């Protein structure tokens, strides 16, 4: 059995995806008793067929059971409607100028040096700053946000159980207690003095006379902190990797900056920030000639689905003008990522700032980059790059 979780495979899982998809698009991994789905149509079905594949993968007593992404209708319907009242496209669009300010402020100290760690200096702090902004949390909370996010991410390594999993769950419970106390204080402040921020809108959101409980707001905060931060971080970092690896496409983008939104969609497909999700079968499910038993953990392999040659012509080629590009990097169906507009906005502004301020960039080292901590995501932990300062100044 191939080791999907080795650093080498996680840096470049795509040859393994191609090999397995071609042999059997549904694979049972016996050690963890996981069923992995590698083709586009199969993965898409697992993501959207909530009658057959449940998103409730944790017991009701677990804090993660409060997360929107791990709920089924009708509870999911209620939670999503309430959160959407607060997390509107209008609210996200209103962040554009502030994200641009933050992007240029983060890059400014590095411009004279001609070198930076893209991840540590830019693509990690930027989404954390944005989350701090939308919640109206003080900037002093950023180190805690980073620590909380890193701790929650370790839960992705607990599917096979054991002592490490027990430790991760204990630490997560401790972090949840700390986050709940911090959030309670912020919520009380918003109830006393409402502000124009996401947290106030979450507190005030109401559908059919129902409002979010404090525990539900905490669940969304944890999800936003982890998924929102990690997805945007890896999208920005992976975009730079793609452009460095494909200088013809970088030149094309510099010549036609209006292609940036299309380029971002291709990064989402080609190096999907989230490589897999989790579901549990509600009943026996036949799929590609195999029968997945009831109550089994299923992983739709999003990163593999987005390179399926039966759906994408020349699937292993990075093409910033690809059209159509029906990738499923943000999921599909009722669980389509609620933060997708924010991730796209952050990536567009961040990459615009990089292209404006850097006339050229390249990797500092030829050493293989270290993958991010969470097993289900794709992107580097560090990415030192050197560059020449660009001629354009921010508008």
At 162 the pLDDT is 64
Does pLDDT of 394 surpass 60?
A: no
Tens of pLDDT along 85-108? 888 887 888 889 999 999 999 999
Segment 222-251 shows an average pLDDT of: 93
Q: Which sequence positions are flagged as catalytic?
A: 227, 230, 232, 337, 346
* Domain count of the fold of the chain: 1
Plot region of 314 (φ>0 → left; ψ -120 to 50 → alpha; else → beta): left
Segment 168-177 shows an average pLDDT of: 84
Does pLDDT of 206 surpass 60?
A: yes
Tens of pLDDT along 31-59? 889 999 999 999 999 999 999 999 998 77
Structural contact between residues 350 and 126, judged by C-beta atoms closer than 8 angstroms: yes
Does pLDDT of 373 surpass 80?
A: no
- Does residue 394 sit within a domain? no
Does pLDDT of 318 surpass 70?
A: yes
At 145 the pLDDT is 86
Structural contact between residues 127 and 228, judged by C-beta atoms closer than 8 angstroms: yes
Does pLDDT of 79 surpass 60?
A: yes
Does pLDDT of 342 surpass 50?
A: yes
Query: At 251, which CATH number?
Result: 1.10.630.10
Please calculate the CA angle 154-155-161 and round it to the nearest 5 degrees.
110
- Does residue 347 sit within a domain? yes
What is the value of pTM for the model shown? Answer: 0.93
Tens of pLDDT along 107-138? 999 988 999 999 999 999 999 999 888 887 87
- Does residue 2 sit within a domain? no
pLDDT band at 175 (very low <50, low <70, confident <90, very high): confident
Instruction: Name the burial class of residue 46, with classes exposed (0-12), middle (13-18) and buried (19+) by CB atoms within 10 angstroms of its CB.
Output: buried
Of 173, 142, 143, nearest to 64 by C-alpha is 173
- In angstroms, the Cα distances linking 134 to 32, 198, 328, 367 are 38, 5, 26, 37
Does pLDDT of 200 surpass 50?
A: yes
Strand pairing report for 290-292 and 285-287: antiparallel
Tens of pLDDT along 303-316? 999 999 999 999 99
Tens of pLDDT along 213-231? 999 899 888 888 888 888 9
Q: Quote the domain boundaries for residue 291.
A: 7-389
- Does residue 395 sit within a domain? no
């Amino acid at each position: 059995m191939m080791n999907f979780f080795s650093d080498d495979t996680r840096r470049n899982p795509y040859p393994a995806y191609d090999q397995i998809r071609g042999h059997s698009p549904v694979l049972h991994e016996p050690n963890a008793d996981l069923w992995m789905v590698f083709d586009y149509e199969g993965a898409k079905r697992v993501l959207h067929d909530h009658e057959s594949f449940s998103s409730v993968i944790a017991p009701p007593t677990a804090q993660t059971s409060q997360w929107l992404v791990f709920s089924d209708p009708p509870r999911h319907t209620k939670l999503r409607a309430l959160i959407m009242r607060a997390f509107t496209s209008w609210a996200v669009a209103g962040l554009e100028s502030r994200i641009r300010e933050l992007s240029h402020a983060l890059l400014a100290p590095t411009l004279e040096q001609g070198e930076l760690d893209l991840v540590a200096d830019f693509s990690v702090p930027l989404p954390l700053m944005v989350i701090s902004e939308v919640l109206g949390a003080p900037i002093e909370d950023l180190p805690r946000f980073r620590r909380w996010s890193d701790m929650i991410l370790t839960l992705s390594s607990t599917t096979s159980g054991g002592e490490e999993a027990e430790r991760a769950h204990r630490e997560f419970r401790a972090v949840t207690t700390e986050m709940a106390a911090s959030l309670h204080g912020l919520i009380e402040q918003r109830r006393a003095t409402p502000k124009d921020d996401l947290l106030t809108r979450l507190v005030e959101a109401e559908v059919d006379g129902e409002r979010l409980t404090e525990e539900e707001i905490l669940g969304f905060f944890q999800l936003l902190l982890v998924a929102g931060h990690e997805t945007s971080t890896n999208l920005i970092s992976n975009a730079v990797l793609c452009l460095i690896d494909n200088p013809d496409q970088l030149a094309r983008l510099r010549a036609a900056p209006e292609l940036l939104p299309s380029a971002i969609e291709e990064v989402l497909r080609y190096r999907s920030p989230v490589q897999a999700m989790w579901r549990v079968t509600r009943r026996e499910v036949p799929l590609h000639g195999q029968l997945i038993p009831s109550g089994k953990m299923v992983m739709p392999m999003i990163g593999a689905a987005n390179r399926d040659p039966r759906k994408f012509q020349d699937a292993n080629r990075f093409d910033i003008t690809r059209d159509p590009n029906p990738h499923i990097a943000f999921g599909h169906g009722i669980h389509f990522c609620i933060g997708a507009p924010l991730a796209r906005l952050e990536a567009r502004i961040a990459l615009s700032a990089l292209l404006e301020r850097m006339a050229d960039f390249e990797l500092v080292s030829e050493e293989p980059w270290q993958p991010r901590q969470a097993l289900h995501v794709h992107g580097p932990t560090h990415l030192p790059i050197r560059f020449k300062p660009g001629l354009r100044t921010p508008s």
